Structure 1
Amino acid sequence: MSNRTVGFIGLGFMGEGMATNLLTKGNPLLVMANRRREAVERLVAKGASEVQTPAEMARGADVIFLCVTGSRDVETVIEGKDGILAGARKGLIVIDCSTAEPTSTLRLSGRMEAAGVTLVDAPLGGTPAGAAAGTLQALVGASDEVFASVKPLIACWAATIVHVGPVGAGHKMKLINNFLSLGYAALYSEALAIGQKSGITPDTFHSVISKGRMHCGFYDTFMNYVIDRNENAHPFTISNAYKDLRYLASMADSVGAVNTLGDAVKNNFAAMAASGQGETFVPMLSDFIAAQNGTKLKG
C-alpha cells in the first residue's frame, strides 16, 4: 500500500481501468468528473473520494495522473481557473498519460517547475481491456530520480514501463508509435479495398496476413472489426487519431523533418473526420476507404 494519495483526472475508456488498478492495489485515490460521471460513481463505490476541481485535487494529492484528450485539455486542467497550479503545493508530481504535443509538455514543465511541481509524461500503449487488466505500456519522460519515484505507481496499471528519456521524450515517442499504428490502419484499409475490388475478400486477405510476418497485435484488433464486425474491438476515435497525426506533423516541422508518409496517413483520417464520422473508431477507416473505392467489405 502506498503512503501517497493519488489523484486521477480523465476517467475515459483508458482512465477508468487505470484508476481502478491504482485504487485496488492500495493507493488512496481522489477522482473528479470530467465527461463520464458514471465512472466516478463506480470508483467512489470502491472507496475513492470525489473532488470538484483540479485545484482541490492538487491540495489533497501527492501525485496526480492525467488521461485526457490532448494538449489543450492538459493545459486547461493545469493552468485554467481552479486548475492544478491554483492549488498545487511544492513537491506535487503530475503524470500526464495523454497523447500530447511535446512543445506544450516542455512549456508546461518549465512553468510547473517554477512553482515546485514536477511534470512527468507517461503516454500509453494498449487498449481499454489492457487498462482494466493492468497490462498497458507506459513511455515515461522524466529524470532518473523522478522515474524511480513514480515507477511503482505506474506499475499498478502498466506491465511494460520504458524510461525513454527526460520530460517530453515520452510524448515524442508516443507520437512516433501512433504514426506507425495509424499508418498500418491506412495501409490495411487501402489494401482491403484493392483486394475486394480485385476479387480478394477480407476473409481471404485475413487467412494469409494473419499467418504471415505482417501479423501483429494491432492487426488483430483492426481485423476483429473487419472480419467479425466487433465495433468495440479498438475503441479509439477517428478524431483522436487525426489529432495525434497533426501533433506528429507539428513535431516533424519543429525539427525540420520530412513527413511525406505522415501527411498521407493524416489526410485519410482528416477526410473521414470531415465527413462527420470523427466519433467512430479507427478500424472503421476500412469502410470509409472501401466506400471511396465504390465497394463494401462486408454486408
Structure 2
Amino acid sequence: MTEEFLQRFYALHYVYPKPLNRLQRLMADDPELGRLTYRPPNEWSALLGISIAQAASLKKAYADSLHIPFDELYQKHKITPISYFHSHYPESLLDLIDPPAILYAKGDTRLLLAPFKIAIIGSRKATGYSRAAIQTLLPPLIAKKTVIVSGLAVGADAMAHQEAIDSGGRTIAVTGSGFLHPYPKENRPLNNIIEETHLVITEYPPYMQPLRWNFPMRNRIISGLSKGIIVTEAKEKSGTMSTIEHALEHGRDVFAVPGNIYSPLSAGPHKLIAEGAVPLWNGGRVLEEYPQLTEDL
C-alpha cells in the first residue's frame, strides 16, 4: 500500500471509526480512496446509509483530517496502527462479518501472530472463586505458550490478565476506548504494565471515549482472536454472554467453569454447559481440544 493511500485510510478511520465492511462501501469503486474528496455528499450518503447532512459533515471532517501527521501522532503516543492489510493483522479477524479496519496497538504486536490464543472472560463482580479457578486453569496453558486474551474490565478480565503476567505468560487486552482515555480507571496500573510488556489493542482512534456501545463491539474482537473462550462466573444475561454469542457465531469453542449452584454468577456457565459448552476444571482439558496446535509448543 502506498503512503498516500495509508494517509487517506487513516484519515477516514479517524473521523469514521467503523468496521471494515462499512469503509469498504467507499472503496468498492475507489480502492485507493483517491476520489473520496471529490465525491458529493449525496454519494457519501447513499454508500454509507447516513443523511446528506451527516455526509456533508463527515466529508468536511475527512478533508480536514487529511492534514493530520498520523505517523508523528501515533509515534508520539507509542501507538502502532495495524490496518487490515498489515502483516501483523490476525487473519482470524477477517472471518468476522464486521472486521476491525484498524487495530491501534501498544506493546508487542507479535503477540497477534501467536498460533494459540485463549480468551478468559467473566463477571465484573467476579468473586474469589473466579480468581482461584483462573489460578488453577492458567499454568498448563501458559506452559504451552498460550496467549491469554481478555477485555481489561474489572473482575474476571483483570484477574486473567494479572494471573497471566504473574505466571510468566503473555496476555492481550482488548479495550473499548482510545488510548488517550484508558478505561476503567481502576485498572490503570494493570493497563500500563500490559502496554509496556505485553499488548493492548483497540479498534478506536486515540481520542475515542469509552462509550457504552463500544464494549459489545469490543467483544467480537476478543472472540475473533481466540481459538476458544473460557467463562468463569457470569449471570445468565450479561455482557459476558454477549461475547459467547459472538464466539458461537464464529465457530469458536466455549469452555465453562461449573460453580456453586446457589450463586447467581454460576447461572451463565451452567446454562452454557447445558447447551453444549465443555465443562472445565483444569487447563489441561483445554489443551486436549487442540493437540495439533499445542503438541510442539
Q: TM-score, normalised by structure 1?
A: 0.29
Structure richer in helix, relative to its length: 1
